[in-house]
A and B are shown apart, each in its own frame.
Chain A
Amino acid sequence: MIFKKNLKFFVLYIFSMFFLIKNSSASSIDYSYKKLPVNSTQTNQTPPQDQKSHQRKFALGLGVTQNAKISGIEEPHRLTSLEVVIYSYYHLKNLWAIRPGLRLGMTPDQDSREHNAYSVFISESDFKSTAEVSFLFRKYFIIPVITIGGGAIFRTTTLKSNSRYISTENSSINGTSTLPFIQSQISILVPIQEEKIEFGPFARYNHIFSDSRLDWYYGIEGSIRIF
């Protein structure tokens, strides 16, 4: 159902991924190295040729996130989201890298039953799309990462009732809405198998326009090099 309702987004996302891969693979990934003078002395900050072959060009990631707390509710209301992300990499000088990414997330059937709101409740299903840019510093074994991004949440709200008095059929609450958001994130990555796999935890601050209940998310993510 959610896929059907967000068809316009899916088309956009698939096109964006297609162009990202197509154009990035055509462009030079390590152009910063090529600009080095022929007779320049190789420093510790420039990866040797054998390491360059291990550097990531593209990676596919999977992640799980959970919100910290919904504003105004005494106890944390845990919403678990699953995310899939595709990254491309620009390796710069001084061990820095830029990592643009496109992320899809899904939070199915968030509702308030865990807070005993059984009689009548609104179930929310989120489909989230994010475009983001990360800055990685590959000096140490553990890689610190800072990310900024933005996108949209496509939310489906459904009124559900266990009360014999409340009919939900004709409610205007049932419907979809699009919520823009911006986000920033800090994370650390642990590379293994010569950067083939990277994983680590992150903390993310989300500002969702027209829904300020949710702000902080925590999660863990892993990615695997595909090129």
Chain B
Amino acid sequence: MKHLNQPKILFFYMIISFMICSCGGSHPSLTPPFQAEVISINLLNEPGGRTASIPFSLKKVTFKYLEKPETLSSRYFIFQSGGKAESDSNNTNLTRFYQLGVSDFYNHFKEKDNTLIPQDTFSLYATSCAYQFDLILQKIEEISGIHPDEILNKKGKFKIFFNVLSHTNNKKEKTGNAFYVSSFFSFVTTLPAKTEIVPLSANLRVIAHEYGHLIFDYLTTDFQDNSHIKEFKNDENNYIRGINEGFADLTSFTITGSTDIMGETFLVNDHDLNASLKIRNFSQSHFNDTNIKDHCNASYYCLGILFNHAYYQTLLSLGMDPNKESDRIKGYKLIVEAMKKTGKLIRSRGLMQGHFLRHFLRDLLDNISDSHFKSHLENHMKANFKNTLG
């Protein structure tokens, strides 16, 4: 030690430091199928099932399609971080989206027992979000008959813009949201909100709802430009939006078994906001299109709620169990099939202004292949859409 001097000590120190580092800093060497610890919903058919009190938990899950855990890219989607969104005054519609400052997501994780363990908050949220999409893609063929490759071959991979900064009326938005942006073939999840009970981006009910919009886009427009809808008169425009939202909620219900899409999502003191979130629970709605304005403050969503309530009543009247996945899938497949045929019809003759909703619902009912299901749905539709179908 007598002959040691400063550079030697420094060198010695650095070597020892890097030796210690090499024990914990190794690059993960996982192979697919990847497992990860994420926040996710407890599905009804899972071992242990879901109880009303614990719909979410932190759990170890297995991805089917994830290819690169470092960037959360998969066979069907690419994860991106950043971007800026502007939404309307109700924070329900995306009016503009800027891809400025967007980059590949950096997923910060470590490997433990062959499992990805997220190492920072947003990696946990993003990995959880990626799993929700992976889970939907695992189920989508079973529930709708549409293989994810069918969509991949038409449009390529979809993008998920994560942690997007959302503005409403040039002010930073304080509540989180998620969007499907058809023009970008993308999904957007905004930065988290203080009011979230669980991260919105990890909420399968919300993510499945957004994926429902993609399915609706495929079935009705075949991913063709439908921007001319915006030129329709207000009511007509809202009818299409309403049906779209209803179908998205139906997709979420089929995957998760929950009719309360926005339930247990936000802790809000705003009475009106709470009411509009609660009213989305279509199993409990009690209005029709004659008194819709008196009982529903959720804008065009109300139309979707009416549609879904009729569908839910149909399941019950046919003795189907909404808590049973196979029964939900049976009903959803019939709707998807009818929606696809209706979409083709609409594309061939164009959207009919004036009586769009009436024509749409009539065509949809006509295209349901199961006559028993069709007659029950028709009865419930007539009860809910008294003005339109009466």
Contact = CB atoms under 8 A, between A and B. Distances in A.
A binds B: yes
Interface of A: 8-9, 12, 16, 19-20, 23-24, 27, 71-75, 88, 90, 100, 102, 111-112, 115-122, 124, 129, 131, 133, 150-152, 157, 159, 163-168, 171-173, 175-180, 209-213
A39 B199 CA distance: 77
B358 interface: no
B191 interface: yes
Interface stretch (B21-29, B252-260, B291-299, B334-342): B21-29
A102 B20 contact: no
Q: Which DSSP category, helix, strand, loop or mixed, fits chain B's interface?
A: mixed
Interface in B199-229: 199
B33 to A, nearest CB: 18
Q: Which DSSP category, helix, strand, loop or mixed, fits chain A's interface?
A: mixed
Contacts of A20: 6, 9-10
A211 B119 contact: yes
Interface of B: 1, 4-7, 9-10, 12-14, 16-18, 20-27, 37, 39, 54-58, 81-82, 84, 101, 103, 105-106, 108, 110, 112-113, 115, 117-122, 124-125, 163-165, 174, 176, 191-194, 196-199, 264
Contacts of B110: 177, 210
A165 B108 contact: no
A194 B264 CA distance: 66
A74 B118 CA distance: 20
Nearest to A209: B25
B104 to A, nearest CB: 9
Contacts of B58: 120, 159, 166-168, 171
Contacts of A171: 37, 58
Nearest to A121: B121
Given A27-B6, A172-B112, A177-B110, A115 B105 contact: no
B116 to A, nearest CB: 10
Nearest to A15: B13
A122 B106 contact: no
A50 B264 CA distance: 75
A100 B101 contact: no
A158 B191 CA distance: 21
A180 B18 contact: yes
A213 B163 contact: no
A118 B6 contact: no
Contacts of A12: 13, 16-17, 20
A120 B198 contact: yes
